[in-house]
Amino acid sequence: MVLNLLPAAAPEREGNAVELLVGGEQLFPRALDAIEQARHAVRIETYIFANDSIGQAFCEAMCRAAARGVEVRLVLDGFGGQEGVRTWLPALQQHGVHVRVFRPEGVLFKLNPKRLRRMHRKIIAVDHDIAFVGGINLIDDWNHEGERDELLKATERARRKREPIWGASGGMREQAMTVNTDLLDQQSLGPRYDFAVQLKGPVVQDVWHNMEWLWLQIGPGGRVTDTFSSAWWKERVEQLQEAMARQRAMPKPKRAGKVKAQLAVRDNFRLRRRIERAYVQAIGNAQRTVILSNAYFLPGRKIRKALLAARARGVHVQLLLQGRVEYRFQHYATQSLYSSLLSAGVDIYEYLPSFLHAKVAVVDSNWATVGSSNLDPLSCLFAREANVIVYNREFASALREELQKSIQKDSREIQAHEHAQRPLKERVFSWLCYKLMLLAVFLGGFGSRY
């Protein structure tokens, strides 16, 4: 019975209007305006809900909407959203906003794999008419407090260095060290670099249905059913059936444009590999170009093979990755993959002006994706994620131009010979980080994926 209610992979939908949004500077005003104009319902899912001006703006907008009689629901992750729970939850609940915290963190640390099953989606939907999907949390793009500690450590490590990062001599190596050291200063950080899409048209219904499903899956105390054996789940089955009946009774969504788009979500049921498979298929079909940008890039075996096979076919593959040390373990584990990719002719660039948070890709001229899913073990094996796949030449061109601009103006290209000449200590540390990541994946029961 329950299996019949599980969301299937959403189909490709014709007739949508899809617009690329770069950073919170473009996303937040539109999303806040949509909430202010809401007549019936507002749905928000976010991993981080910061205590800053952006967090306050969204808190106040949700409270005003609830005061107008709009049904407002917020799903907040219990780990990434702890600041939001402490800061905004009392006011939201006082004003009638319905809030569910996805797997809240307890006081005591527990070594439990379920703690890795986070709600990493970033979605805002209003009145079945408009939705925003991407990788942007409810946090000011200029708010880097969460990265302060690691940034200070990286700055101190750079100051203690007595040799250039890429080698012992040569102008390029000396310049690379200067760029790294200068850009470590927090005062030099620019806005976080990330993307979202604004959606109108039939694809919004798929977004809405998946948000409804996740809302009902969160039980008392933020517990999440993974087996459907919980006693409280019986009530939710009835509620889900009612929600699906209401959705079927709604008028067929009107066309809002000419763009074909598709929602791709990752859950811990039948859609565990949905986003990963979309990447593998698109890269496998690539004929000319692949541009991929990821904040945390530790892809599984199938995506790595697809990238190498694309290069073997003569496809131009470019990776725009994190140039700053946000999470030290992740950063150096990723660098352990560079050698094999560079040897195959993959172009690798590291983004320097600020923290790169993008989770996007463009393949050839008619396939692009924007969303919350990194290509790393946490996103591909554990977390709830949501991406939008867009099959449209104009959209793909817009995203490609934006990424190429960042590659040319704001990034450092990694040279194979310089990467090979890194200090021995750095190479060993990178290798150890990657092997420890593989061990963790193996212990989690996913060794065959990596």
Position 174 scores a pLDDT of 39
Position 187 scores a pLDDT of 56
Burial class (CB within 10 angstroms; exposed 0-12, middle 13-18, buried 19+) of 412: middle
Could you read off the pLDDT tens digit of each residue along the chain, which spans 450 residues?
Answer: 555 666 678 999 999 999 999 999 999 999 999 999 999 999 999 999 999 999 999 999 999 999 999 999 999 999 999 999 999 999 999 999 999 999 998 655 555 666 778 999 999 999 999 999 999 999 999 999 877 665 666 556 555 554 444 443 333 343 343 334 444 455 578 999 999 999 999 999 999 999 998 998 898 888 886 666 667 777 777 787 887 788 777 777 889 999 999 999 999 888 889 999 999 999 999 999 999 999 999 999 999 999 999 999 999 999 999 998 888 888 899 999 999 999 999 999 999 999 999 999 999 999 999 999 999 999 999 999 999 999 999 999 999 999 999 999 999 999 999 999 999 999 999 999 999 888 888 777 776 777
- Rounded CA-CA distance 253/13 in Å is 11
Position 113 scores a pLDDT of 60
The angle at the Cα of 160, spanning 156 to 165, to the nearest 5 degrees, equals 100
Exposure of 382 in the CB half-sphere (CA atoms within 13 A)? 17
Handedness of CA 209, 134, 285, 266 (dihedral sign): negative
- Cα distances (Å, whole numbers) of residue 186 to 25, 182, 192: 20, 10, 12
- Rounded CA-CA distance 137/123 in Å is 9
Position 11 scores a pLDDT of 94
Furthest CA-CA distance within the chain = 70
Write out the two tokens for 145.
């407090």
Q: What is the DSSP string of 143-179?
A: --GGGHHHHHHHHHHHHH--S-TT-SS-HHHHHHHHH
- What are the residues whose beta carbons fall under 8 Å from the beta carbon of 37, sequence distance 6 or more? 126
Beta strand 259-266 with 41-46 is: unpaired
- Rounded CA-CA distance 192/184 in Å is 14
